[in-house]
Amino acid sequence: MLVPLDDELLLIRRGDPFLLVAKAPELFVLCIETYDKELCQTVEAGDLIVASAPEGGDVRQAEILVELVRTYHQPVFVIPKDHPGSARLSMVVSAGSAVIPKCDIVRGTHPEQDVICASEEFGNLRLSSVHGGVEISLPESEEKFFSISKIQTTVAR
């Protein structure tokens, strides 16, 4: 399904877990900081910026994560595997022309920005940027389990 999206936020929820999706308004460089190097990813206008809350939580926290990247171009930090910090990450963020939720990756450890740690209920969902909106690929039989709504960002743009 295609959902039109401008500068508002798209909330995709299934029970407590949710994804919060935004579109980049302009081209910018997202720096991905690993323990020993910096990788740069060009985020194109219209690309997706997605925050994931695998156990749910406050949507405002996810909004802050999204806006730190979308508006303030805050670098993303990637931690090594087996780092205890993974346990502290209740929400994670990713950016790209497409974002694929996966439940079998360790939080915060993947510099690949086309995957994001999410609840297993999101395993069959795919998000792609399309002109003027977001394409949500989801088996028709699962659509009824998701609630999809738009919320306005509280960050002045």
Partner 1 sequence: MCSGAGGFDVELTQRLKPKKYKCRSCGATFESVSKHPVCPTCQSESVDEVC
Nearest CB to partner 1, comparing residues 7 and 112: 112
> DSSP states of 68-115 as a string?
HHHTT-PPEE---TT-GGGGG-S-EEEEESEEEEESSS-TT----TTE
Q: Note whether 29 binds partner 1 by CB under 8 A.
A: yes
Q: Note whether 54 binds partner 1 by CB under 8 A.
A: yes
Query: Which region among 35-43, 126-134, 135-143, 149-157 touches partner 1 (by CB under 8 A)?
Result: 35-43
Per DSSP, the three-state class of 63 is helix
Residue span 86-125 as binding mask against partner 1, x where in contact by CB under 8 A, dash where not: xx-x------------xxxxxx-xxxx-xx-xxxx-----
- Other C-beta atoms lying within 10 Å of the C-beta of residue 124: 12
Closest distance of CB 150 from partner 1, Å: 26
Site size for partner 1 (CB under 8 A): 35
Question: For 139, which DSSP code?
Answer: -
Tokens of 31: 């720096």
Tokens of 36: 């020993």
User: Which of 105, 92, 121 has its CA nearest to residue 16?
Assistant: 121
- Which strand (E) or helix (H) includes residue 65? helix 59-70
Q: Which of 25, 45, 81, 147 binds partner 1 (CB under 8 A)?
A: 81
Q: Which of 37, 131, 144, 157 binds partner 1 (CB under 8 A)?
A: 37
Q: Note whether 31 binds partner 1 by CB under 8 A.
A: yes
Q: Say if residue 51 is exposed, middle or buried (CB neighbours under 10 Å; 0-12, 13-18, 19+).
A: buried
Nearest CB to partner 1, comparing residues 44 and 143: 44
Q: Which of 72, 82, 140, 156 binds partner 1 (CB under 8 A)?
A: 82
* Residues near partner 1, by CB under 8 A: 27-29, 31-32, 37-42, 44, 54, 81-82, 84, 86-87, 89, 102-107, 109-112, 114-115, 117-120
